[in-house]
Amino acid sequence: MPQPYVFAIPSPVPGLELHMFHQPAAANPGRRAVLYVHGATFPTSLSVAYRFDGRSWADAMADAGFDVFGVDFLGFGGSSRYPGMAVPADAGLPLGRAPEAAAQLGCAVHAVTIRLGIPRISLVAHSWGCIVAALFATQRPDLMDRLVLFGPIARREGPANPPLPAWQCVTSAAQWARFVADVPPGAPDVLAPAHFAAWAPEYLASDPASLTRDPPSVAIPGGPRADIADAWAGRLPYDPSGITAPLCILRGAWDSLCTDADAAWLFDACTAAPVKRDVKLSGGTHLMHLEAGRAALYRDAIAFLHGEAGDSYVA
């Protein structure tokens, strides 16, 4: 298999760069592309590109014939940090809100289509990244092939939250706590402690300044958290009826951030999608791409990206 590599492209913010990942297709490269859109707290290298026991989700999609790309939004991973992340977090509004991130995603999509010489690509997004991907899909339907929303954040009718900081810090201990929070009592571990023990130092290394803090932690923009809070207060930054690409909602059965009610609302609201699927996978949480059941997630995402298993109906 061709080896993955990284490169940088200009962001919409002058002087700031976006870090991109590319895992070339194992065969027939340059024909179909998938761009992964990461979630609220960790970048591409810790998600689609991270190899558990020597194999990543990107490897699985590349083996299936896709050129796989990922982009780190500003403030994450290898991308430039917002200047506002160098001043106190309470000094400004949340950085990296969905409209800003959608503009960054547009730069990444443009880079992929130009690099491969193709007219459209598919997006696979996770969690908060689903808000960004769906917003972009409504803005540029001409560039969309297929859309996979894994653990999407949907609209809920809750109370508004108080103002949130421009950025925040997340420790590896906080990540572990949220990774295991939705596993039912008595159920076996879905994220192996040994896997997390290897993942956690890489997580801290994704922020060059992490070890200067006590405790060590990763600084991330506050925009994703603010977007999720707004969505759960009834305000999404996009209209789901504007999604016109074939759509697959993928989620773990134990995912508290994308419940049955959330998935049903989003499924019904995407009235213009010509094909829709809502797939609930057993034994997984909101972080199923890091868990023991990840192979099932890979399989169902790839089947949908290929146009298999149910494209003749809306179900």
271-307 pLDDT per residue, tens: 999 999 999 999 999 999 999 999 999 999 999 999 9
The C-alpha atoms of residue 30 and residue 278 are separated, in whole angstroms, by 29
Asked whether the beta carbons of 239 and 231 are under 8 A apart, the reply is: no
Listed in order, strand segments (DSSP E) in the chain are 5-10, 17-23, 33-37, 67-72, 121-126, 144-150, 167-170, 218-221, 247-252, 276-281
pTM of the model: 0.96
CA atoms within 13 A on the CB side of 51: 7
Q: Residue 84's pLDDT is what?
A: 97
Backbone angles phi, psi at 122, to 5 degrees: -100, 150
Q: Domains along the chain?
A: 5-166+223-305 (3.40.50.1820)
Q: Residue 314's pLDDT is what?
A: 36
In the block, tokens 């089947």 appear at 303
* pLDDT band at 308; cut points 50, 70, 90: low
Examine the pLDDT at 72 and tell me if it is beyond 90.
Answer: yes
Q: How many residues does the chain have?
A: 315
Give pLDDT tens digits for 2-43. Answer: 899 999 999 999 999 999 999 999 988 889 999 999 999 999
